[in-house]
């Protein structure tokens, strides 16, 4: 029965782009051995992002794990990763979701809050795994907001977006891949209502949103793999501390040893000077 003024369960699921059956399905966690395989797959993938399930399976066998390709395919799907190379479909979109054109080709990105992008990565913990979404300013490479979730739903991506729009000036363009979380109505509506142009990577164009990849690699090797995260709570605490270091203290060779905070603050100064002129 639908209570007046309340959204029905079906409508809530539709707005969040999740299947209603997931509300009643109790997820079965992977075994400890599969968690070990997923951690290995994640490490191998960072080194060889062009590996598909065949090559990943062969690599695992060389390491002494005699798994079949079907299992590797299933685990890679669960981790939301796929080989990075031009192919027919580089992301899991959702039927019926609108796909927007890619707007960044040939664009000169010369100021902060001109372009933001978002992406999702897999985070292993001792008894399971999490997903991390991060929103980055392309000019300064600064991580603006982020969220952890134990499911690949839309809500945690929307939370990160709404926080970024609250804390910072809205960007001109927001770029993502064609994943269902980013093409969902609730996510794109947030962007449209803020007057932001929506840009999405083209099919087979894996380099379109590659700017955030160095951040993922640094996060995994400098933080996640060194910490052996025991729980979701510990993962949140450790990642929060490391992202603060990455943004505010870590020197970046891309910017001549400056921190991302210094680059960002200089960007604010440049904007203020242009407005005053």
Residues sharing a CB contact under 8 Å with residue 94, sequence separation 6 or more, in sequence order:
17, 180, 183, 184
Residue 246 structure tokens: 């990455």
- Give the pLDDT score at 49: 79
CA torsion sign, 69 to 74 to 75 to 76?
positive
Q: What is the 3-state secondary structure (H, E, C) of the chain?
A: CCCCCCCCHHHHHHHCCCCHHHHCCCCCCCCHHHHHHHHHHHHHHHHCCCCCHHHHHHHHHHCCCCCCHHHHHHHHHHCCCCCCCCCCCCCCCCCCCCCCCCCCCCCCCCCCCCEEEEEEEEEEECCEEEEEEEEEECCCCCEEEEEEECCCCCHHHHHHHHHHHHHCCCCCEEEECCCHHHHCHHHHHHHHHCCCEEEECCCCCHHHHHHHHHHHHHHHHHHHHHHCCCCHHHHHHHHHHHHHHHHHCCCEHHHCCECHHHHHHHHHHHHHHHHHC
Per-residue pLDDT of the chain (277 residues; tens, 9 = 90+): 444 457 777 777 777 666 665 555 555 667 888 888 998 998 888 888 778 888 899 999 999 998 999 999 999 888 877 776 543 333 455 556 789 999 998 899 999 999 999 999 999 998 889 999 999 999 999 999 999 999 999 999 999 999 999 999 999 999 998 889 999 999 999 999 999 999 998 654 445 557 888 899 999 999 999 988 999 999 999 999 999 999 999 999 999 999 999 999 999 999 988 888 7
Round to whole Å and give the CA distance between 57 and 90: 20
- With beta carbons less than 8 A apart as the criterion, state whether 169 and 144 touch: no
- Give the pLDDT score at 26: 55
Describe the strand order of the beta sheet including 143-149 as a list of residue ranges.
143-149, 128-137, 115-125, 173-176, 197-200
Round to whole Å and give the CA distance between 138 and 177: 15
- The reported pTM is 0.77
- With beta carbons less than 8 A apart as the criterion, state whether 178 and 203 touch: yes
Round to whole Å and give the CA distance between 174 and 118: 8
- With beta carbons less than 8 A apart as the criterion, state whether 10 and 20 touch: yes
CA torsion sign, 264 to 266 to 269 to 273?
negative
φ, ψ at 39 (rounded to 5°): -65, -40
- Give the pLDDT score at 46: 82
Residue 139 structure tokens: 């000019």
Residue 159 structure tokens: 């939370």
């Amino acid at each position: 029965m639908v209570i007046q003024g309340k959204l029905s369960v079906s409508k809530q699921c539709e707005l969040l782009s999740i299947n209603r059956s997931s509300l009643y399905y109790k997820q079965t966690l992977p075994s400890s051995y599969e968690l070990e395989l997923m951690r290995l797959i994640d490490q191998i993938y960072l080194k060889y992002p062009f590996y598909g399930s065949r090559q990943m399976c062969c690599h695992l066998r060389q390491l002494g794990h005699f798994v079949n390709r079907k299992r590797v395919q299933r685990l890679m799907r669960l981790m939301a990763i796929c080989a990075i190379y031009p192919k027919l479909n580089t992301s899991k979109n959702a039927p019926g979701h609108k796909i927007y054109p890619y707007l960044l080709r040939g664009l000169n990105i010369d100021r902060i809050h001109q372009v933001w992008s978002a992406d999702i990565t897999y985070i292993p913990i001792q008894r399971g795994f999490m997903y991390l979404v991060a929103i980055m300013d392309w000019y300064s490479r600064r991580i603006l907001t982020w969220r952890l979730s134990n499911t690949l739903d839309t809500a945690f991506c929307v939370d990160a977006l709404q926080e970024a729009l609250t804390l910072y000036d809205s960007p001109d363009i927001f770029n993502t891949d064609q994943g269902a979380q980013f093409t969902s109505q609730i996510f794109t509506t947030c962007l449209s209502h803020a007057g932001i142009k929506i840009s999405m990577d083209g099919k087979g164009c894996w380099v379109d949103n590659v700017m955030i990849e160095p951040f993922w690699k640094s996060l995994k090797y400098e933080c996640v793999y060194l910490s052996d995260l025991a729980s979701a709570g510990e993962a949140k605490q450790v990642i929060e501390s490391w992202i603060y270091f990455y943004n505010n203290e870590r020197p970046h060779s891309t910017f001549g040893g400056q921190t991302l905070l210094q680059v960002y603050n200089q960007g604010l100064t440049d904007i203020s000077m242009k407005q005053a002129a």
